[in-house]
Every structure is written in C-alpha cells, then in structure tokens.
Amino acid sequence: MMADLRHFSSKSELSASENLAEFIRMCRDALTVFGVDLCWNDTSWPKAANFTKLGVPSEGFQASDRLDDAFIDFAKAYFRYQQGHHPTVTKNESKALRVIEAALLKTMGGAKLAGLDFAILDEAVVLAMGHYSPMAAYHCGRELQRLALFVSEKHLIPSDLSTWKSPIKKPPDITIQTGAKAKAIQEKKMPSQEALNALAEIFANDPTGPKDIFTTSTFAMTMCAPMRISEILDLPADCEVEEKDSKGVVQYGWRFYSAKGYEGDIKWIPEIMVPVAKKALSRIRMLTESSRKLAEWVENCPGKPYRHTECPDVADDELLTVFQACAFLGLARDSRRFCTGSLRGAKLEAKDGVHTLNSLWKYVLARQPKGFPWLNQEKKIKYSNALFCMSRNLIGDQRGTSPVILWAPTSNVFNNNLSPRESLQGSNHQSIFDRHGYKASNGSSLKLTSHQSRHLLNTLANRGGLTQEQLAKWAGRADPKQNRVYNHMSEWEMVAKAEALDTSLTLFGPKGEVSLHVPVSTQEINLMERGAVHVSLWGVCSHDFIMSPCEKFRDCLNCEEHVCIKGQGKDNVERLVRIKMRLSQVEKDYTEAQEAVNNGYSGADRWYEYHQKTVEQLRQLIEILESPQIPEGAQIKLRDGKDFNHLRRVIRAKAMEAVEGKMPDATLLSEMSRLLDGRHG
C-alpha cells in the first residue's frame, strides 16, 4: 500500500483551480494506493470506500446515489492521498467528504470544492451531528478540520480555512465512566453467563449437525484467544503452530492475519484452553474437508467435471437424464416431478437428454464464489486451504448441500445462529439456543455475539495482570490504546489493582486487599445469637423479632442486622440483580431529591440525606459482592456508624429534653430503660 506514494506540492503561481486539477491528476495517475488495477471511475472501491451521498446504505445503492460529478473526483483523490500517507481502519475521510458534499449542495446548489468556506463547514457540522452517532460525529468533525487545513495549505481553494476548528466535543468515554448507566452499557458488551454455560454444554455433548458443529466450534475458538470473528473465518486449514518457548515448553497457537493493522502473527493459546482449541479446530476441519477437496479440483482442473460420490458414472459428454443431472448438481430428485422442479429452479432446461457433465460443469464454474480461488486475496488465503471453506448450504436448514458449488460463511451467518431474530415477526429462524431448548432464567431467549467473547477475554486478561503491550499483541492490535474499549473491570477493581502496584495508596488498604473491609466475618455471623432467620428480597435478616419489632420499617439495605450472601446458586445471583435494580431506582430518587434541595423545597434535605446514604450503601455492597477477592458464599453485613432507626430517634429526642431541663432525671432514666428493654410501642 505504501509502495508508490508521492507528496503533492502546490505552486503559488497557479490558481486554486489549476492546483486542484493537478492534485486530482496526480492521485489518479501516479498513486498506486488500493492497487494499480483500481478503476478510478467506479463508485465503489473494494475494501476501501463507497463514494456515495450521505445516508446511502453501503450495499444496494443506485447510480443516482453517487457523489455529485463536480465533487467526486476530488473526493477520490483526497481519500486516496490521505489513506496512502496515513492508512487507517476506520477511514473517517469518507464521513467528512459526504457531509461537505451535502452542505455544498444544500447551501450553494452545486458541489464545486471552490465554494467551500466557513459557512459550508459549519453546515457540514450540523449535518454530521444530525446523521452520525455522537462519537462518529466527533471523528467526522476532526476529519473536517483536517480537510480544511489540507485544502488551505495546498491552495486547492481560493479561501483560507486553516483557522477553522470543529465545535463537536468528544462524548464521554463510557469505558472510563462509573455509575449505573455506564455499568449497564458495559455489561451489554459482556456475554451472559447463562448463554455461555448453555453453549459450552452443547459443545461438550459433541453435536452432530453441521450447523451446530459450526456454531459451537467457532464460538469455542473465539473463547480461546481474543480474535475477531473475521480473523477466525479467514484462518487457513494449516493454521496450527507448535513451538518450544525459552523454557523448553511446547506452546500451541494459530497462525492468523489481524484485521487492525497488526498484519501476520501467531495467536498463542493459553495452556488451559489448548484442549478446547484443538477439539474445536479439528471439528471444523473435518466438517469442511470435502469442500476443500472440491476447491482444489476447481482450482487445478477447471476443464474437467468434478466426480463426487453422487456423480453419475457416465462419460463427460454423455447425455443425462433429469435424475442424473440433479444427482450431479446435488438437487432434490425423489421423483421426476422433484427433478424437473429443481432444474427449473436452477434456471436449467428440465428435460432428459439436454445436459452433459461437461455442460453442467460450465454452469457450476460460473457460480463459484466471486474472487475464486481466493477467499481473501489480501491475506493470501485460497478456498483450497481455508479452514472454513464450505459447500453451498452445508449449514443451511432447508435445501440439500451442493457437492459442486463452494461457499464461505460470514460473520452475519455466525451471529444469526447465536441470536433470535426478534425483529422479524413470523420468522422460522431459530438460534442454537432455541433449537436445543435453552432459555434464560426469566424465560427470555438467550443470545450472544461473536464480539462479546473478545470483550470477556480482554477483561480477564486485565484482571490477570497482563501488560497493555502484551494484551495488544495477544489481541492483534497495533495500538495499545485500543485496549481500553475492551476493559470492563469495575472502578473498585481498578483501585484495588492500583493499590497492589503502589502500596502508598491506601483507599482499600496498603496492599490493595479488600478482605479487611468486609464489615463482618462468616464466623461472627454464625456465632451470633438469634432466632429464626427471615428471608428478604436482598438476603436474610438476623433481627430478633421476639425482643422488638422491625426498627427500620423494612429498610433492609440500610440495616445493620441484614445480611447479604455472595453469589452461590440461582437465588443469590437473582438477589444481586435485584440489588442493582434497587440502586438504579434510588439513584433516580437521589437526583430528584438533590433538585428539590436546590429548589428550596421544605423537608427535601431529609430525603436527600437518606437517598445519599442509601446510594453509598448499595454501591459499596455491589462492589463487595462483585469483587473476585471475596469468596463465593461470603456473608456480607454492612455497618454504618450513622445508622438510623426509630428507637435511636426517640432516645435522641428524650436526651435533648433532659439536656434542656424539660424532664426530671428519674423520668429520663425510666424512659431510657423502657426504650432500651424493647418495651416501647
């Protein structure tokens, strides 16, 4: 991609229009970025960009969707020049070019670059903010600023726009935010434990159906190392590597090609996952073995029909019956009616004596995948050596598998197998969970995505102490800064990790240990004198109701006598979910109470203080329950020196009366004794 790059230098004696024409000529005729065989006049450049208007879909566009004729040559030249000198995966230049073209047409009625000025850039910003997501709009604004500087410095327009700055602010990074909303967004990027367990169980039961083998084995591979699904689907069949490390231990990995600038490398598999990795890969290899044999034949012997196991035993030029023709093509042939219907469906003449193996082979060759023999030419992966080389409909639900036409699954095919199509009413589609009868604990459908496993592995690697450079290499990233998007450790975990590295930090203790901050030990709970234990929505209550009624009026999560148990079994997992839901509600109430205080509403300060304390209690409780340093089954009892109950409120009031001289000492002592003995009410 960087083989033939040239820097454009404008000439001061030339006009802006002449410099623009020379810039376009150089980028069209002299640069080789995206290949020397690139067709300049095409609307779409494969694996590069579509030069279409704002809002046009990436596929299925029409000729009328092209960028304006007065603008498209500059757009192509600018895109090719910038990607040649500073190649990126996101290619945000396209966003900036589209909004500028739209702004020019809206404001000027034409799309000549010479009309670009401050007003047009401001209008482009408005269009970007209205069309793109907040983060995409921010990146579009940055590209607009870069483009304005470029065309000004290169003297491609009459105006000087080099001082223009994008007003679009970078939206808050959810990966570094805290709170219920941020937590909920981050949790969506992580796979459901129920779905993982279900898929693991299906994989362990050794499925026999091609679709189930493909889905379970492919997802198992995503769990072995943080690979993108596109990287897995492009693996060669001979990707396995075994080498001895510096200690003489044999390490196992897969040879792959990264999709984000890291290029070719070996993805090493953790020792504990090696058996799973080998089993998953061997199942896929066995499933696709016959398809690779077909691909090898088509590649090396395109002039001779491929004789598969169902191929009629006749000469290549012998006339065939409709049954023989269907047998060669792998079409339904239960009866003559089925044969004729299948041939018509394939747009072939449905008669005896009109087809030969040679004529049908020409039909087959014309229907091989686009780009054959390459599955991915950039990565140098041919169908004949692709792990996921398949025959058409090998993992389909209805039609029979074609023995002569090749096909390869895409990421959409894989993800569709992991999720229900909730948006399609009446659809017959079933995910792998539906087919095997797995449901979530609340009765809803289970679902996963290929990218969730990548988020999970990256988070586990961060928890395990892998350096950012090591993690970037393992995940196949050229820039370690990209790691942060995939790290979903809680703020509590991050602080504890920081303290473990720097003992001078003491928020959670000098060694980052949180066990000292558990308010009560299991032994203390077990030795506590109490009667029957009362189950609540959040845990259990240890209060002795024989001595006195509930002093918190069922405000369990703010009570010192309430105990929560960390995640053992289904019931306790559900309790944690309820606690999180309670936190979400209390945070809303806390915000409203804060607004009421600011507006000067009478009595709002009491609610503000109460909700503030409850939010703090709930956040602390969730952090403890989610901490990997707290063992499963631990019993958590929060202490609070400012704990409020009605008994203390009455005692405090009586004490104030005594201090102010409103109550005799004897009466005070009697009242205190009665209250403390539980004889009140």
pLDDT digits (tens, 9 = 90+) for 561-599: 777 777 666 656 777 788 888 888 888 888 888 888 787
CA dist 624 → 386, 505, 564, 617, 638 (Å): 47, 19, 10, 11, 10
Whole-number pLDDT of residue 276: 92
Query: Is the pLDDT at 513 greater than 60, yes or no?
Result: no
Nearest to 474 by CA among 256, 680, 147, 662: 256
Tokens (6 digits) for 110: 């034409």
- Report pLDDT for 81: 92
CB 81 within 8 A of CB 147: no
Amino acid at 200: A
How does DSSP classify residue 544?
-
Question: In 373-509, which residue ranges form alpha helices assigned H by DSSP?
Answer: 411-418, 432-435, 450-463, 468-475, 491-501
What is the predicted pLDDT for the residue at 527? 45
Stronger pLDDT, 645 or 52, i.e. the higher one: 52
Instruction: Say whether pLDDT at 488 is over 60.
Output: no
For residue 247, what are its two tokens?
Answer: 């200690």
How far is residue 374's CA from residue 383's CA, in Å, rounded to a whole number?
Answer: 6
pLDDT given for residue 216 in this prediction: 94
pLDDT confidence bin for 529, thresholds 50/70/90: very low
* Per-residue pLDDT at 459: 72
Model pTM score: 0.56
Question: Rounded to an integer, what distance in angstroms lies between the CA atom of residue 393 and that of residue 562?
Answer: 58
> In the prediction, which pLDDT does 524 show?
45
Closest CA to 507 of 521, 520, 517: 517
Residues 406, 386: Cα–Cα separation, whole Å: 12
Element containing residue 91 per DSSP (H, E): none
H-helix or E-strand containing 255? strand 250-257
Distance of CA 658 to the CA centre of its chain: 64
- Strands 374-376 and 381-382 turn out to be antiparallel
The whole-angstrom separation of Cα 243 and Cα 235 is 19
- What SS3 class is residue 157? coil
CA angle 68, 70, 76 (to 5 degrees): 80
Structure tokens at 622: 């969730």
Mean predicted confidence (pLDDT) in 111-136: 93
pLDDT at 89: 74
- Determine phi and psi for 678, rounding to 5 degrees: 80, 20
Three-state SS string over 199-250 comes to HHHHHHCCCCCHHHHHHHHHHHHHCCCCCCHHHHHCCECCCEEEEECCCCCE
pLDDT at 608: 82
128 in Cβ contact with 51 (< 8 Å): no
Those residues with Cβ within 8 angstroms of residue 578's Cβ, 6 or more apart along the chain or in another chain: 537, 538
User: What value does the mean pLDDT take over residues 439-462?
Assistant: 80
Distance of CA 666 to the CA centre of its chain: 70
Please check whether residue 224 is in contact with residue 457, taking contact to mean a CB–CB distance below 8 angstroms. no
Tokens of 294: 């077909």
Lowest mean pLDDT among 343-357, 436-450, 495-509: 495-509
Which pLDDT belongs to residue 226?
80
In a 13 Å sphere around the CA of 559, the CA atoms on its Cβ side amount to: 21
Q: What is the pLDDT of residue 489?
A: 53
Average pLDDT, the chain: 79
Lowest mean pLDDT among 176-185, 338-347, 666-675: 666-675
Q: Does 221 score more than 80 pLDDT?
A: yes
φ and ψ at 581, to 5 degrees?
-65, -40
Helices 134-153 and 118-131 pack at an angle, to 10 degrees, of 160
